[in-house]
Amino acid sequence: GVPAYGTDVSLSRDGNVVAVTGDRTSTRIAAVYHYDDAQDDWFLRGSEISFDYHGITGGRSRLGLSDDGCRVAVGAPRNSISAAINVAPALVNLFELGIVGDDTVWQQMTPAIV
């Protein structure tokens, strides 16, 4: 399905990089765009970032962008990893912009933080 971008938005320090997140069914997505002064337009930086929340039970995904726009933290207030009723810890994924072959991609830095 089409992502519902705008759940959360974050800007780099200089305002030339913006990260947005949105919700799909069981997978959350985020994207990072950079502004090109010469073309006066925004372009996708790397690819979309997909991350699984093991079945969100509530809340919306949130994100934070580093000052230089090369790292993104995406998370949700709670998830359903825990089988216990009313126990749903937050889950955060950290990504860093990197190069794989000829492609610029967002690589997960660590396992998800619960």
- The domain limits of the chain are 8-108
* Angle at the Cα of 48 from the Cα atoms of 16 and 33, rounded to 5 degrees: 10
Q: Give alpha helix (H) positions in 5-93.
A: none
- pLDDT, tens only, 21-57: 876 555 667 899 999 999 999 999 998 888 765 555 4
**pTM exceeding 0.75:** yes
- Whole-angstrom distance, CA of residue 44 vs CA of residue 1: 19
Q: How confident is the model at residue 64 (pLDDT cuts 50, 70, 90)?
A: very high
